[in-house]
Amino acid sequence: MIRNDSLQPLHLEGFEEVQTGHWTLENDGHSVVLRVGSGMAVSGGGLPGTYHTVQLHFHWGGPASNGSEHTVDGHRYPMEMHIVNMKSIHPNVSAALDDPTGLAVLGFFIDVVYADNLHFGHISQKLSSVAHKGQTAKIKPFPMMSLLPKHNMSQYYRYQGSLTTPPCSQAVVWTVYEVPIYISWSQLAQFTSQIFSTEEDAEQVTPLQNNFRHIHPSSGRTVLASRD
């Protein structure tokens, strides 16, 4: 890992505001995805351009096992949230997948404490409405920033990588923040117990768990760390 002083905090445009219209929470069979309208974008922090925010989604483990996709010094966190942003020059996400820097995904570790995270409640309260694959629920927009860590947003890791689900396209500039988001044990349990990926699983009460990709070798990639 190499420190790089030029990795300044990202510019998160529209993240403080309440966006107009409505957002859609969906169970896509692999994760829970919150599709957001236009109006938010990320840039700066060494990103090669401006990227419009498309959606956020989650990866989790089981009731007693962790499920983040990234690990830090071998430590896996209970969950990870990904905010997916598409380089604005592309017409859609599939076009962006042909560009090695077509997507900028912001990764946030999620750790567990006793107290509920009230901001996270916007999402966790609606999980039971998207228990089954293909189900959607409308969510009233809220300031995206309210989900993110309040401090130390200047501390992050950066590398050039891929989608973590098939087709695993090499199209992602990854920004993985060092400081986690905190939610409660019961909020975590909603993810590990209330989401089903098939009807058979729902009948057998086998919820979707461990929807994270296993660790891959860095294969010569450089992981940079911002200063601070």
The smaller minimum CB distance to ligand SG7, of residues 55 and 192, is found at 55
Residue ranges in contact with Zn ion by CB under 5 A: 82
Footprint of ligand SG7 on residues 32-71 (CB under 6 A)?
33, 55, 57
Residue 21, phi-psi category: left (phi > 0), alpha (psi -120 to 50), beta (remainder): left
Query: By rule CB under 6 A, what string of x and - marks binding of each residue 155-174 to ligand SG7?
Result: --------xxx---------
105 binds ligand SG7 (CB under 6 A): yes
Tell me how far, at minimum, the Cβ of 57 lies from Zn ion, in Å: 5
Active site members: 30
82 binds ligand SG7 (CB under 6 A): yes
d(CA 123, CA 27): 12
135 to 29, 80, 194: CA distances (angstroms): 10, 22, 13
Mind giving me the DSSP string for 84-102?
Answer: EEEETTSSSHHHHTTSTTS
Tell me how far, at minimum, the Cβ of 169 lies from Zn ion, in Å: 13
The smaller minimum CB distance to Zn ion, of residues 68 and 124, is found at 68
The smaller minimum CB distance to ligand SG7, of residues 101 and 165, is found at 165
Tell me how far, at minimum, the Cβ of 70 lies from Zn ion, in Å: 10
Residues 61 and 192: beta-carbon distance below 8 Å: yes
Residues 193 and 207: beta-carbon distance below 8 Å: yes
Neighbours of 134 (CB within 10 A): 9
Among 72, 93, 131, 224, binds ligand SG7 (CB under 6 A): 93
Residue type, 20: T
> Is omega for the bond preceding 149 within 30 degrees of 0, making it cis?
no
Residues in the interface with ligand SG7 (CB under 6 A) total 13
Q: Where does this chain bind ligand SG7 (CB under 6 A)?
A: 28, 30-31, 33, 55, 57, 82, 84, 93, 105, 163-165
